[in-house]
Structures are given as structure tokens and as C-alpha cells.
Structure 1
């Protein structure tokens, strides 16, 4: 049985004070949750929020990383640094990284492998633009991204990787894929993993949906057979909203 995972992606939001207050309020409202709760926070918040979340079910994630261990890469951060700061997860290949910061299928693959080397759990993203969907290319785009991401990744590493399907046209737009649309693509992704690694691995890999997830659509999304959680943007910035998602 795959454990549901709800991850809040704060993007470039929150300070230490607001972040700590958020963690306290969410931790108080979780109870005995059976959901894996992850907060993907700015680099400066990883260490303080790891400390604030001590003794709670909340795990901390980074939003990006470099694929080299060290070097002359001004402004970058390595997997080892993230691990040392207290991150348990790292988001890789988010569409905003692809769109604004020249992330490619190749760098996603390098980062995925480096994250595993460092003992981080990658949340690797894939998804099509509106133009690609309207042209009927959703499966082709997702197939290319998934196959490239997992090139040279072992079955043991794959089974602990979280995949996030995030249609670019649904991120921050208020436009959400229907539960059926999300299930269709996520089912396709699970089929790709089965082709690459076999049915045992594909049945264990957790696949999230991301794209304008809100308290009023989370239950419908989570009722789909292949959807194991959500990668949430705006709705993860307020404790009550995020708790509604976790306690779906």
C-alpha cells in the first residue's frame, strides 16, 4: 500500500518567523496522520524549519539543487549541503525551473542521480504545456521527460523516487486538470515505469498530481486509483488550507 504524500511548495514565499508559525500551527492540527507531510521551502528556511518540525510528522524539502558536489557555481547549492541543513526531500525539474532557469531533461537526470547519492528523496516533476496538450502531445512529452529523468537510475533508487505530474497549464492559473485527466496521465506514467522497471516497482512508486490543487478538489483527486498525493503551490501557504489538504 502506497503512503499518500502531500507536499507544499512554498516557492519564493515565507520568512523564518512566518515559517516557524506555520509549522507550529500545522503540527498542532495533524493528529495521527497517515499522510506523509512535506514542506518544500526556500534554502534559508531548511535548517530552522527542520528544527521547528522536530518531533512532528513534517519533513522538509528543498526546491532545487545542483548536480555537482562542489565547484565554481555561484549561487548554487549541492545535495550534500541540503542534506547537512536538514532536507529530506528535494524537488527536481519543476516547470518553473524549466521555464525560467533553463532546466533540461539532461540536468533533471543528473540531479536525480546526485540526490539519490546524497540520500535525499527526489520529487521529480514532469508535465506538458497547454500548447502541447492541445496538439495531442501530452503522452509524448511526458514519456520523453520520464524516460530521460530515469536514465541510468537503478530500480532501488526508482522505488523511493516520488514523481509529480504537473501540467504546466494548470500551475498557478486556477485552471485544474480534472481528476479523470490527472488519473489518465498518471496511469500512463505508472505504465511507463512498469515498462522500464517491472510491475513490482511500478506498483510501489508514488505519483503525485500538481496544478491548482485546493481543499475543494483534493478529495476527488485522491480518490483516483493511481494518484498518491499532491504537490501544492498557493494552497500550501496558509496553515488551515494546507491542513485541509493533508486531512482530505
Structure 2
């Protein structure tokens, strides 16, 4: 199994042009260090608002690299009145292959419980999105 390099962009950058610029920087770095792809899998987890645009970039011939798209979060329900949440199906439709679950910031600031994280894990697996479970990290 390959190791993972997961780039969690959190709430950065603040605009789509800057997100594309950052994405292109990653691409250029990978081109210069392509041998690293033999031992690691690189996953980019931008803010949700950039997923569609970056997914399209990944599909272009000029960008075809071994970079996979990840999401920073998902909700365990497939649909419903859950303001601001993102369903596994929505993520899957955008080409997301991975999702971060259980991040310390979500546990500490937003009060996500082990029960909620378990529901998210199950929802990700059901949708065939690979969960990246954060464990043992502290908020600091």
C-alpha cells in the first residue's frame, strides 16, 4: 500500500484563480518530482467551492497526473434539509475519491462526536469514497 500525502487546504485560498494557481504549483512540483509517485499517492482537498473546477482541471490532457481529489468533509445523509452540508453523492458526482473525516478542528470547534464520525465513515464507504480518518491529533 502506498503512503498518502494529503493536502488539506482548509479555507484557503480565497478565490478560484488563486486555487487554480495553487493547483498548478502542485502540478509543476509533481512534474519535477515524478519519481515520488512510485511510493506515494497525492490527494488534494480544497474547499468545497473549488471541487468542481479543480475536478475539471484534473481531467484535462495537460493536467493528467496521479493526483486525486479529496473533500474536507461530508454529511452522512444522502439528501434532506441539512443546510450547508454536502452529501456523499454530491461529492462522488464531482469526482471526489477521498474524504477527510474526524479532523480535530471539527471535533473541537464544531463538536463532532465519535458517533457522528462513525456515521460519516459508513456513508463514505457506502458511496465508495475512501475515508481518511484523523485519529490521535490534537487541535493545537
Shorter-chain TM-score range = 0.7 to 0.9
C-alpha displacement at 1:108, in angstroms? 0.6
Mapped partners of 2:114, 2:27: distance in 1: 36
Mapped partners of 1:25, 1:46: distance in 2: 17
Name whichever structure is richer in helix by fraction. Answer: 1
Mapped partners of 2:10, 2:25: distance in 1: 20
**Structure 1 residue aligned with 2:10:** 11
* Structure 2: tracts of 5 or more residues without a match: none
**Structure 2 residue aligned with 1:26:** 26
Q: Which runs of 4+ in 1 moved over 6 A?
A: none
How is 1:205-224 mapped onto 2 (pairs within 5 angstroms)? none
RMSD, matched Cα: 1.3
Contact persistence 1:24–1:52 (CA under 8 A): no
State the TM-score, normalized to the length of structure 2: 0.87
SS at 2:5's partner residue?
Answer: strand
State the TM-score, normalized to the length of structure 1: 0.50
How is 1:1-248 mapped onto 2 (pairs within 5 angstroms)? 2-14=1-13, 15-30=15-30, 31-32=34-35, 33-34=37-38, 35-54=40-59, 55-127=64-136, 166=137, 168=138, 171=140
* Bigger Rg over Cα: 1
Residues matched between the structures, number: 130
